[in-house]
Amino acid sequence: MANLKEIRNRIASVSSTMQITSAMKMVSAAKLKKAQDAITAMRPYSDKLTELLQSLSASLDGDAGSKFADNRPVHKVLIVAITSNRGLCGAFNTNIIKQCSALMETYAGKQVDFVAIGKKANDSLSKQNTVLANHSNVFEDLTFDNVAQIAEALMERFTEGEYDKIEVVYNKFKNAATQIVMTEQFLPIVPMEGDTSGASDYIFEPSKPEIVAQLIPKSLKTQLYKSIRDSFASEHGARMTAMHKATDNATELRDQLKLTYNKARQAAITNEILEIVGGAEALNN
């Protein structure tokens, strides 16, 4: 049985870890509330804008729309991987890396490069793949303007023919305990399936080409911003859940160590009593 000092040191170590994980859980819970409110408020606008763009995709003629809806043969693919800058959030980052690996297999024989949004994506993917850019600093000031710059760079790579297809891989926020790995096609624009006759109900002012020319870039920027916002909220939810489980495990381990400590202490006291009794009997004899 381990000596008492060793067990006391382990109890102190586990208790210290439990305090840290509990504090991290509370911090993530506070950040999650703000991030959850932001993505919940943004989704209706983003979804409606995307729906409007898709409903008009059938009539994207001319330079205004064709350059973003050009479904050319796919030879070069760019994958935007969105992760976090820090760990301690369970399988949050690992799931994204696994999904990126699975995508690479589907594009076997084609050139596949990456753009990393998040330090964990850059660290993992850069070991065996080409990472064109690392935008880890976007989380330091997560605003639409900062994300718009990333989206503009992606649009430029597509329109100039550097890549034939761009996809975004991220964690979609469902609740604090559940994050869904999503793969969305960023470019070319995906037309709406089914009947698109509803697009004729729109009245365009000043003109259809001008509206479409402004709508497409804004919709793409909003789509990427929503994806990053989703991932940001998912990160805090995953970290809060992971730290909650870690705290529970640390509490259970501490209780087990205390029980072991009490048993060892009781055994030591019993041995001392037996030695005293044995010595007294030896003196009497």
Helices (H) then strands (E): counts for the chain: 6, 5
pLDDT tens profile 45-92: 888 887 777 766 655 555 455 678 888 899 999 999 999 999 999 999
For 22-191+202-242, CATH gives: 3.40.1380.10
The per-residue pLDDT for 61 is 54
Which has more pLDDT, 168 or 269? 168
Q: Is the pLDDT of residue 253 over 90?
A: yes
Q: Degrees (nearest 5) of the Cα angle 245, 251, 256?
A: 130
> What is the token pair recorded at 193?
């399936």
pTM to 2 decimals? Answer: 0.84
pLDDT tens profile 171-192: 999 988 899 999 999 998 876 6
Three-state SS letters, 204-271: CCCCHHHHHHHHHHHHHHHHHHHHHHHHHHHHHHHHHHHHHHHHHHHHHHHHHHHHHHHHHHHHHHHH
From CA 152, how far away is CA 155, in angstroms rounded? Answer: 5
